[in-house]
Chains A and B, each alone.
Chain A
C-alpha cells in the first residue's frame, strides 16, 4: 500500500503542475466548501421551526363570587401543555400563567414522566391546592402514587405527610398541599382530575387520537429538516482535497499515516451517517459541524505532529461511539437522572486517583497513565460536571439538589487547583455559573460567586507566580521584555496569523507548526496561517452554530434536565473556545486550553463528542435526534 502510494505520488509530481499552483487553486475551493457546509447547517437551523410538542391539555376555569355568594365561572380556556415539566401559578414566567390573585406566584408543578404518567406537586403555595377526582369514572378513581395502588393506602400516605384529608369521601376535594413554604407531596393524576387552588380550577385532559395525529402532521409540516447528504458530500470532498494538499507537501514517510487518518475519518463519518439512517433519524447538522472541525484537527496535526494522526483518528472514532451510546442512554430521563450519584462517585474517584498518582507535565498535574494509555481525567469529568448540573424542574425547586451540585463543583475546582490546571478550573467555574443561573435564576447569587472567584483569583496569583506573569504579559506581548519570553506564543501566533491572510499559506506550509504546542494552545494561529482567516472564522462560527442549536432547543424542551445539560455543554464549548482563541491572540491572558474538536489531544476529542450528546438530547425536532424518543406518541 505504502509503495503504491509512493508510486502514485511520483507520477503525480512528475506531471509537474507545480505544487504551488495546485495549493493555490485548492484554497478558494476549501473556502467555498466550508461556506457551503456552514451555511447549510445554519439554514437548516433557521428553517426547521421545531414547533412544540403537545403532551396534554389543561382546562383552566376561573371563578368569581356573584352577589349571592356563589362561585360562577367567568373564563374557561384550554392550555396545551408543551413540556414535560410545567409550572402553574400567577407568575408571568409560569408555563400555565393565570391571573388569579389567590394563586401563589409559583403554585405547583405539573410533571409528565417517561411513561406518560402525570404528577402534581404543590410548591408550598399560600392558599393550598385541592384535588377532585374525575367524576363518574370509577376506573380512574384509584389514586396511584409512588407504588401505592389503592385509595386507602393513598389516604394513609396523605396522613403520614400531615396533609389534611377531606375525610375520605370520594367526590370531595382533597387538600394535597402542606401549607405555605412547605413543599407538598407528588400526587399522581389521572386525566379528568381537577386541581383547585384560589379561584381557579385546572382539569387535566388527554389529547384525542385525532388531535395527536393533527399535531404530528403539523409538526411534520413545520419540521422541514434539510437533508444533510449534500453537506456530507461536500465535507467528504473537503477531506479528499485536504488529504491531497497534505500528501503533496509532507514527506513521503507520512503518506501512510495521512491515508490512514483521512481514510479512517471517512469510514467513521459514513458509518455514523448510516447508523443514524437506520435509526430513522435525520438531524445531522451538529455532527456535520463536528466532523468539519475534526477534519481541520487532522490537518493541523498532520502539519505539526504527523505521528499523532492515527491516535487522533482513533480518538475521533471512540468519541463518535461514545456520543452514540450517550445519546441512547440520555433518551431515558429516569435512567439519566438516577445515574448521577454514581457518576459523582466515579468522577470524584478519578480526580483523587489523578491527584495521587500523576506527575507534573508542563506545569500541571493533569495526566494519568494506565496501561500505557495516558489521558486527562479532568477532561472526562467535564461530561459528569454537566450531567450532574442538569436537573428536572422538580429538582430545581428543591434546595438539597443545589447543595449537592455546589459541593461537587467545589470539589472539582479544588482538585483542579491542586493539579495546577487553572484553565480547566476556569472553564468549570464559568459552566457552574451558567448552570446555577439556569437552575436558580438569581442574578445576585451569580454576582456573589463572581466576586468570590475574583478574590480567589487574587490568592491564586499570589501563590502561583507563573499565572501572575501571564497577566503581566497580557496586552504587552510586543514589548521587548515579553516578545521572546512570556509573549512568545502570542507574538508567534499573531505574526503567523498576519502571514496567512484570508486564504492561508496552504495546509502543511506554515511555520507556526514548528513551535511548541502549536496544534493545541495556539491552534487558532495555525488555522489562520495555513487555512486562512476565513476558514478559521468558520471554525469559530461552527461552535457558535452549535451554541444556537442548544439555546433554541429550550423553547420546546421536554424536560429542564435536557435543556440545562445542553446549555451547560454549550457554555463549556463556547467558553473553552474563547479562552483558546483569545488567549493566543492576546485578547485574554494566555491559558493554554484546547479548542473543542480541533486541538490535538485524544481525551479532549472524545470529551468534545461526548458533550455533543447533551446537545443532541435537547434537539426535540421531529425525528431529528437519536437521543430523543419519538414524539408525543404514548
Chain B
C-alpha cells in the first residue's frame, strides 16, 4: 500500500494543474477584464452596439458626452462640440484615440470588484478629462480655419489643459464620415508625426551644449549660405555675426547646420533617442506616434537634419514633453488626459543643460519674437517654419513653456512660425497661465 502513496502524487499533480490554471485565469481576468467586458454584445452595458452608461466631463465637471440607453449624447452647440471633437470622439467612432474608444471600459464603469454592475447598482463610470473645454474653445477659435494642432500641458502634474487637432467633424453628426475633410479623424498631437523645422534646433542645441565644450566663444558670420560637404545650406537672409545664443534666437541655419556636423550623426541620433523623440509615450492607454530620423548620410543631409528638415519626423507631444523638461530642470511629467491621473515622469536632461536651454529660449523671445507680444508671461519658445511641400507655404510651429506649462502649436501651411503660430500660443496661454477668461 505504501507503493500507492507515492504514486498518488500523480493525482495531486492533476489538482495542482487545475489550481494553477485557475490562478492563471483569475490573473488574466484581472489584467484583461476591462477589454473583455467592453464588447458591443455585452447587454449589461450595451444596446444596439452603443454604450448605455457613462459620462465624459472636462476638468470643471462640464459634461461633454453622456451615454444613455437611447444612445450617446454629444453635448453643447456644434461649435462647442467641434472644439472638443478630437477628445470625445464621434458618433461613428471614426477616431481610434477618441475618449469613446480609448476610455470605453472606464465609461462603461468596469471595475474589478463589481464588473460592469457598478457600485450600488449605478452602472457606468464618469471620466473626468484634464482639459478645460473653455481653453479648447479658445484654441479652436484662435486657429481660425487653419488646420493644425494646439496642446498645452502642466509639466509638473502632467495634466493636458487643452488639446485641439483640426480639422474636426461634428461628433454628433452620423453622416459626417462621407464629407469629413482629410485628417479629421487623426489626433495630430498624439498620433501623427511632422517635419519639425527649426523647433528641432533646440535638440541640436542640447547636444551641442553637452558635447562641444564651451560654446560661448563660438561665433559665425552668416552670409545667408554656407558650403557644407560640397553643398549649400542656406538661411532666408544673412544674419551677420552670430554667437550661439544669437544663432538660436535668429534661427540661423548655417550656424546650426555646421553645429550638427560637428556633433556628428551618432551623437545626434543618441540625443533624438534620449530626449524621447523616437520613443512612444503611453498616455492613459494611447500609444503616441514615434518620431523618426536619418542622420547617418552625408554631411549636408546631416546639417539639414540638424535644423529640423531632411528626413526628420517628430511627434508633437514628444516635443512638448521636451519643452517641459527644459523648463523643469530636465524632468517632466508624461502628459495625461485624465484629471489627477499620473502617467509617470521622464528625466531627459541634466539640470545644468536644462537651465542653459531655458535661458536661451527666454532669450529667443526677448531678442526675436518680442516680449511685448506675450504680455505678462515669462515665456521661452522656439519657432519653426517647416518646409513640407515645394512651393507651398511652410507649416508654422511655435513651442516652448510659460509658467508651469509647456505648449506646442502648429498650423499647416500658415507661413512663418513666430508670426502665424505665436499669436495662437499667446491667446491660449493668456487664458491658461494668466486666467484671462
Contact = CB atoms under 8 A, between A and B. Distances in A.
Nearest to B13: A434
B230 interface: no
A182 to B, nearest CB: 21
B6 A499 contact: no
B345 to A, nearest CB: 32
A109 to B, nearest CB: 11
A495 B37 CA distance: 5
Interface string A484-527: 00000001101111111111110000010000000000000000
Nearest to B25: A585
B113 interface: yes
B12 interface: yes
A574 B15 contact: yes
Contact of B117 (A438, A491, A499, A563): A499
B37 A537 contact: no
Contact of A571 (B3, B14, B34): B14
Interface string A545-588: 00110110011010010011001001100110110011001011
Contacts of A554: 1, 4-5, 8
Interface residues of A, number: 59
Contacts of B110: 498
Contacts, number: 142
Interface string B1-30: 111111110111011011101101110110
Given A495-B42, A499-B116, A501-B112, A581 B22 contact: yes
Given A437-B7, A441-B7, A544-B15, A501 B117 contact: yes
Interface residues of B, number: 44
Contacts of A437: 7, 10
Nearest to A545: B15
A587 B1 CA distance: 36
A434 B10 contact: yes
B57 to A, nearest CB: 24
Interface in A71-124: 83, 85-87, 93-95
B25 A511 contact: no
Nearest to A393: B1
A24 interface: yes
B6 A93 contact: yes
B66 interface: no
A494 to B, nearest CB: 5
B1 A502 contact: no
A574 B2 contact: no
Given A491-B39, A501-B112, A587-B24, A24 B121 contact: yes
Given A537-B22, A547-B11, A441 B3 contact: yes
The B interface is mostly helix, strand or loop, or mixed, namely helix
A571 B117 CA distance: 37
Contacts of B44: 499, 505, 511
A511 B43 contact: yes
A544 to B, nearest CB: 6
Contacts of B120: 24
Contacts of A434: 10-11, 14
A171 interface: no
B114 interface: yes
A20 interface: yes
Nearest to B116: A499
Interface string B28-41: 11001110110101
B42 A95 contact: no
Contacts of B41: 492, 495
B1 to A, nearest CB: 4
B34 A560 contact: no
B280 interface: no
B1 A95 contact: yes
A497 B44 CA distance: 12
A499 B115 contact: yes
Contacts of A564: 4
A533 interface: yes
B114 A93 contact: no
Given A93-B6, A438-B7, A505-B117, A83 B1 contact: yes
Given A438-B4, A505-B44, A563-B1, A499 B37 contact: yes
Given A501-B117, A547-B15, A587-B24, A560 B4 contact: yes
B430 interface: no
A540 interface: yes
A352 B21 CA distance: 36
14 contacts: A93-B6, A430-B14, A492-B41, A499-B37, A501-B115, A501-B117, A504-B115, A543-B18, A551-B8, A554-B8, A557-B1, A567-B8, A574-B14, A575-B14
Given A393-B1, A499-B44, A554-B1, 5 more contacts: A495-B39, A497-B36, A498-B29, A551-B12, A574-B14
Nearest first, the 8 A-B pairs at minimum CB distance are A501-B115, A498-B37, A498-B36, A498-B33, A83-B1, A501-B114, A499-B116, A494-B36
